[in-house]
Structure 1
Amino acid sequence: MLYLSILIIGLLTGTFCRKISLFKKLDTSISATIWTMLFVFGVSIGSNKELVSNVGNIGLQAFILAFCGVAGSVLAASMAFSLFFKKKGGRHEK
Structure 2
Amino acid sequence: MFVVIGLMFTGIALGYLFRKRLILRRFSNLMGWTVYLLLFSLGISVGNNREIICNLPALGGQALWLAFAGTLGSVWGAWIVYRNFFKNKS
- Whether these two folds match at TM > 0.5 is yes
Question: Cα gap change, 1:80/1:20 in structure 2, threshold over 3 Å: closer, same or farther?
Answer: closer
Unmatched tracts of structure 2, length 5 or more: none
How far apart, in 2, do the equivalents of 1:22 and 1:65 lie? 39
Cα distance in 2 for residues equivalent to 1:53 and 1:70:
27
Q: Find the counterpart in structure 1 of residue 26 from structure 2.
A: 25
**How many angstroms does 1:72 deviate by?**
1.1
Q: Which has the higher helix share?
A: 2
* Aligned 1:48-67 pairs, distance under 5 A: 48-67=49-68
- Over 3 Å counting, the alpha-carbon distance change for 1:22 and 1:80 in structure 2 is closer
Question: TM-score if structure 1 supplies the norm length?
Answer: 0.82
Q: How many residues align?
A: 88
Cα shift readout 1:11-46 (whole Å, capped 9, x = no counterpart): 111111223332121122112111111110100000
Greater mean deviation of Cα atoms: 23-32 or 7-16: 23-32
Cα 1:9/1:86, change in 2 over 3 Å: same
| Amino acid corresponding to residue 41 of structure 1 in structure 2 | L
Q: Offset at 1:86?
A: 4.6
* 1:10 matched residue in structure 2: 11
Tell me, in whole angstroms, the C-alpha distance in 1 between the residues paired with 2:83 and 2:13.
Answer: 39
Instruction: State which drifts further: 42-51 or 31-40.
Output: 31-40
RMSD value over aligned CA atoms?
1.5
Per the alignment, in what secondary structure is the counterpart of residue 22 of structure 1? helix
Alignment-derived partner of residue 34 in structure 1: 35
Larger Rg: 1
Q: Residue 20 of structure 2: SS of its match in structure 1?
A: coil
Give the structure 2 partner of residue 68 of structure 1: 69
SS of 1:15's equivalent?
helix
